[in-house]
């Protein structure tokens, strides 16, 4: 009987540990199931103006603002901005400081801290369109629609 007592004690400890682990698992799993709410949003949009959209000056007057409303710098490398037709711009080497924005122009230009360029030769943002922002894992961050798709 003395040999069974340590065995029962070990079984009780193992069972207690399993119960504690099972009770803690749902709380731990739920902490990681939701991505933190992003402070990055689509701001203002200037869609196709219709004039000189075949030239860089006209194409660069078409743009989407991406704004960081939070306090911390966000690395946008690999994030994408797409329209309803599937045209996609992928951010490269862009760090967006807190409470700042970057303007994504359609045409050709030289990227800097406030302006990036898609290097396209044709218009992207139509008068009835939507811009969708996704992070580098493809998770939806924000969408802004205009024209018959509505304002958001």
- Residues 26 and 45 placed together within one structural domain of the fold: no
- Residues 128 and 81 placed together within one structural domain of the fold: yes
Helix (H), strand (E), coil (C) string for the chain: CCCHHHHHHHHHHHHHHHHHHHHHHHHHHHHHHCCCCCCEEEEEEECCCCCCCCCHHHHCCCEEEEEECCCCCEECCCCEEECCCCCEEECCCCEECCCEEEEEECCCCCCCCCEEECCCCCCCCCCCEEEEEECCCCCEEEEEEEHHHCCC
pLDDT the model gives residue 144: 97
Q: Of 51 and 118, which is predicted with more confidence?
A: 118
How many domains would you assign to the chain?
2
Contact (Cβ atoms closer than 8 angstroms) between residue 59 and residue 121: yes
- Residues 77 and 23 placed together within one structural domain of the fold: no
For 66-115, the pLDDT digits (tens) are 999 999 999 999 999 999 999 999 999 999 999 999 999 999 999 999 99
- Residues 137 and 96 placed together within one structural domain of the fold: yes
- Residues 74 and 100 placed together within one structural domain of the fold: yes
Instruction: Write out the residue range of the structural domain in which residue 12 sits.
Output: 1-34
For 29-59, the pLDDT digits (tens) are 433 334 456 799 999 999 876 655 555 567 8
- Residues 45 and 18 placed together within one structural domain of the fold: no
Q: Is residue 143 over pLDDT 70?
A: yes
């Amino acid at each position: 009987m003395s040999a069974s007592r340590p065995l029962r004690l070990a079984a009780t400890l193992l069972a207690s540990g399993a119960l504690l682990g099972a009770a803690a698992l749902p709380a731990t799993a739920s902490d990681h199931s939701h991505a933190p709410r992003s402070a990055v949003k689509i701001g203002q949009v200037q869609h196709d103006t219709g004039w000189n959209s075949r030239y860089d000056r006209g194409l660069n007057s078409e743009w989407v603002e991406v704004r960081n409303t939070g306090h911390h710098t966000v690395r946008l490398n690999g994030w994408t901005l797409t329209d309803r037709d599937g045209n996609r711009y992928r951010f490269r080497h862009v760090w967006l400081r807190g409470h700042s924005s970057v303007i994504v122009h359609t045409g050709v230009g030289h990227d800097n801290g406030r302006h990036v360029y898609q290097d396209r030769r044709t218009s992207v943002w139509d008068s009835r369109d939507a811009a969708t922002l996704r992070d580098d894992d493809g998770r939806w961050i924000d969408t802004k629609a205009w024209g018959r798709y509505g304002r958001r």
